[in-house]
């Protein structure tokens, strides 16, 4: 058993320490005489390293670049720490480039930040080491030196948290920084530069500043939710697509009358996902090979849009005897006998090479006339979701009224509007235009009621828009009314709107 009597007395500790120091000094003087200087230095450093007390802290050095490539962890840490500055910080860098929406805050040399995550505290320090080197490219012997900065972050934490830092904390920072970048991202709209049409093809881009969002879009709430859920599912399913061996792409067909929000929905999708838009005007493309080049030049996380697919190009396989005019490019193509842009070329390329060359691709076709589309485009598996954009419903009107007139509560005229709007065809674009005419909500709504009454008096007939199976002429003959309905075709995702079903029942024979 250990008893206090066994404890060494302070005087014995002191004498042991004195004799150890004396022996070290003796060893040192012997070493000085016997061991050559460079070896002595090496031995002392090794000895000091071995007897140095072990620190319970681990420090990770996160350098700005790894050879040529930038270090993603550094960039993520830089962005993330800008949200973690505290009143303790004394010097911060601040900047804003023309394209950025907000001010950017960065730590200045030597500044420290303490960040807490999952109950643990992590110490960050920004290091910026400056150095001067002779310019290796300077052959003029002027000895002009080049100053360079080596930036890095030091992340210190208790050693026992190493696994947690590598598995959770750093991935969390990478994810957070990605979210911040997406938020800051200026979306681009890429369109074709037609001056390259015959010699080659090229995308030109401008900033996409379309303000349409799902909040401002008048759509049946169930349909809107179905679209949002579909997009959410799509972007989350990288592993799923890999597992089932499918290219990570999703196709949407938007169809309905002009002014029902097809283009607005595309912009809302782009703004929601933070995806760039590539607007492919098929009418300006001559050959499949040009099309391929253009498609291969599109980026990941983008939406490829082909508007008005039924009339944008005279694809050889397409049949339409409606006397539509050819564009100049199409006429040129036909006169030269090089009708080389084919629908099968387009579809095969989209399904095959294009989609397997990139990730997170969305493709959207729009049309005012679904019934004129080639069956190849409509066959199951081609477009994942068919979205019917149709006339404005009472729900749609309420959303537009609250956006345009900023009326939160229901106005007394809303009841009358509900009764009228159900029986006539008015597009969201027309409703929006009416609601913008006057700043006075009362006067605007009164004028709107008058317009609805006038339209009702004039009478509506089913137009050749939407999913009806009947021939337009037949529908017109029987005076079948088309109710507004914004729906997804039932063959696609099983979300069919009550309204659309009712409309189908009313319009088919």
In the chain, % helix, strand, coil (3-state, to 5) comes to: 45, 20, 40
Contact segment (CB under 6 A) with ligand ATP among 113-121, 183-191, 212-220, 491-499 equals: 212-220
Segment holding 130, helix H or strand E: strand 120-134
Our finding on whether 224 is near ligand ATP (CB under 6 A) is no
Our finding on whether 271 is near ligand ATP (CB under 6 A) is no
Angstrom distance (rounded) from CA 23 to CA 395: 92
CB closer to ligand ATP, 113 vs 495: 495
Our finding on whether 228 is near ligand ATP (CB under 6 A) is no
Contact segment (CB under 5 A) with Mg ion among 260-268, 457-465, 482-490, 498-506 equals: 260-268
Residue 218 interacts, among ligand ATP, Mg ion, none and using kind-specific CB cut-offs from 5 to 8 Å, with ligand ATP
Q: Identify which of 230, 263, 304, 259 has the alpha carbon closest to the alpha carbon of residue 493.
A: 230
CB 205 within 8 A of CB 187: no
Contact positions with ligand ATP (CB under 6 A) in 145-204: none
* Exposure string for 271-282, b = 16+ CB within 10 A, e = fewer: bbbbbbbbbbbb
CB 462 within 8 A of CB 475: yes
CB closer to ligand ATP, 156 vs 430: 430
Contact segment (CB under 6 A) with ligand ATP among 98-106, 122-130, 215-223, 245-253 equals: 215-223
**Interacting residue with ligand ATP among 82, 152, 264, 497 (CB under 6 A):** 264
Our finding on whether 218 is near ligand ATP (CB under 6 A) is yes
Angstrom distance (rounded) from CA 281 to CA 306: 6
* Beta carbon of residue 224, minimum distance to ligand ATP (angstroms, whole number): 10
* Exposure string for 436-445, b = 16+ CB within 10 A, e = fewer: eeeeebeebb
Residues near ligand ATP (CB under 6 A), total? 16
* Beta carbon of residue 469, minimum distance to ligand ATP (angstroms, whole number): 22
Which residues, 6 or more positions from 65, have their beta carbon under 8 angstroms from its beta carbon? 71, 74
Torsion of CA 285, 291, 297, 303, to 10 degrees: 90
CB 449 within 8 A of CB 434: no
For the window 346-385, what string marks contact with ligand ATP as x by the rule CB under 6 A? ----------------------x-----------------
Contact segment (CB under 6 A) with ligand ATP among 138-146, 256-264, 296-304, 410-418 equals: 256-264
CB 382 within 8 A of CB 250: no
Our finding on whether 263 is near Mg ion (CB under 5 A) is yes
* Beta carbon of residue 389, minimum distance to ligand ATP (angstroms, whole number): 6
* Beta carbon of residue 303, minimum distance to Mg ion (angstroms, whole number): 14
User: How far are the Cα atoms of 49, 402, 447 from residue 452, in angstroms, in the given order?
Assistant: 88, 18, 9
Other CB atoms within a 10 A radius of the CB of residue 16 amount to 11
* Beta carbon of residue 423, minimum distance to ligand ATP (angstroms, whole number): 19
**Interacting residue with ligand ATP among 428, 467, 485, 487 (CB under 6 A):** 428
* Beta carbon of residue 216, minimum distance to ligand ATP (angstroms, whole number): 6
CB closer to ligand ATP, 355 vs 468: 468
**Interacting residue with ligand ATP among 155, 303, 306, 432 (CB under 6 A):** 432
Which residues, 6 or more positions from 325, have their beta carbon under 8 angstroms from its beta carbon? none
- The residues that touch ligand ATP, with contacts defined as CB under 6 A, are 216-219, 258-264, 368, 389, 428-429, 432
Q: Which residues bind Mg ion (CB under 5 A)?
A: 262-263
């Amino acid at each position: 058993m250990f008893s206090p009597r066994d404890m060494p007395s302070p005087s014995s500790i002191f004498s042991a320490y004195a004799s150890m120091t004396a022996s070290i000094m003796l060893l040192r003087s012997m070493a000085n005489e016997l061991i050559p200087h460079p070896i002595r230095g090496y031995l002392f450093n090794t000895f000091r390293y071995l007897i140095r007390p072990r620190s319970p802290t681990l420090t990770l050095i996160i350098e700005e670049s790894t050879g040529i490539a930038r270090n993603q962890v550094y960039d993520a840490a830089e962005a993330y720490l800008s949200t973690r500055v505290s009143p303790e910080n004394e010097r911060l860098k601040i900047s804003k480039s023309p394209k950025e929406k907000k001010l950017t805050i960065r730590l200045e040399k030597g500044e420290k930040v303490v960040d807490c995550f999952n109950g643990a505290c992590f110490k960050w320090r920004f290091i910026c080491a400056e150095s001067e080197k002779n310019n290796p490219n300077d052959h003029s012997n002027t000895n002009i030196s080049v100053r360079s900065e080596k930036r890095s972050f030091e992340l210190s934490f208790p050693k026992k948290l190493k696994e947690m830092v590598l598995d959770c904390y750093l991935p969390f920072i990478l994810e957070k920084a990605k979210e911040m970048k997406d938020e800051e991202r200026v979306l681009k709209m890429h369109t074709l530069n037609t001056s390259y049409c015959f010699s080659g093809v090229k995308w030109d881009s401008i900033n996409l500043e379309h303000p349409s969002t799902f909040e401002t879009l008048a759509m049946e709430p169930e349909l809107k939710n179905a679209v949002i859920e579909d997009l959410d599912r799509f972007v989350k399913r990288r592993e799923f697509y890999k597992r089932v061996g499918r290219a990570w792409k999703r196709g949407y067909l938007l169809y309905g009358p002009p002014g029902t929000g097809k283009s607005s929905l595309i912009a809302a999708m782009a703004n929601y996902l933070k995806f760039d838009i590539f607007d492919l005007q098929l009418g300006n493309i001559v050959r499949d090979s040009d099309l391929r080049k253009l498609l291969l030049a599109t980026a990941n996380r983008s939406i490829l849009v082909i508007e008005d697919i039924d009339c944008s190009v005279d694809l050889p396989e397409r049949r339409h005897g409606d006397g539509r005019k050819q564009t100049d490019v199409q006429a040129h193509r036909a006169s030269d006998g090089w009708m080389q842009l084919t629908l099968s070329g387009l579809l095969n390329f989209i399904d095959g090479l294009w989609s397997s060359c990139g990730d997170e691709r969305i493709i959207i076709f729009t049309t005012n006339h679904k019934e004129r589309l080639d069956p190849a485009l409509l066959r199951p598996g081609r477009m994942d979701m068919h979205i019917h954009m149709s006339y404005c419903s009472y729900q749609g009107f309420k959303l537009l009224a609250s956006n345009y007139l900023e009326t939160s509560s229901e106005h007394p005229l809303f009841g009358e509007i509900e009764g009228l709007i159900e029986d006539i065809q008015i597009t969201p674009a027309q409703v929006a235009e009416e609601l913008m005419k006057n700043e006075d909500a009362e006067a605007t709504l009164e004028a709107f009621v008058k317009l609805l009454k006038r339209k009702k008096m004039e009478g509506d007939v089913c137009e050749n828009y939407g999913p009806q199976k009947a021939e337009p002429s037949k529908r017109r003959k029987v005076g079948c009314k088309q109710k507004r309905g914004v729906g997804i075709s039932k063959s696609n995702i099983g979300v069919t709107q009550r309204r659309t079903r009712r409309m189908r029942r009313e319009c088919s024979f």
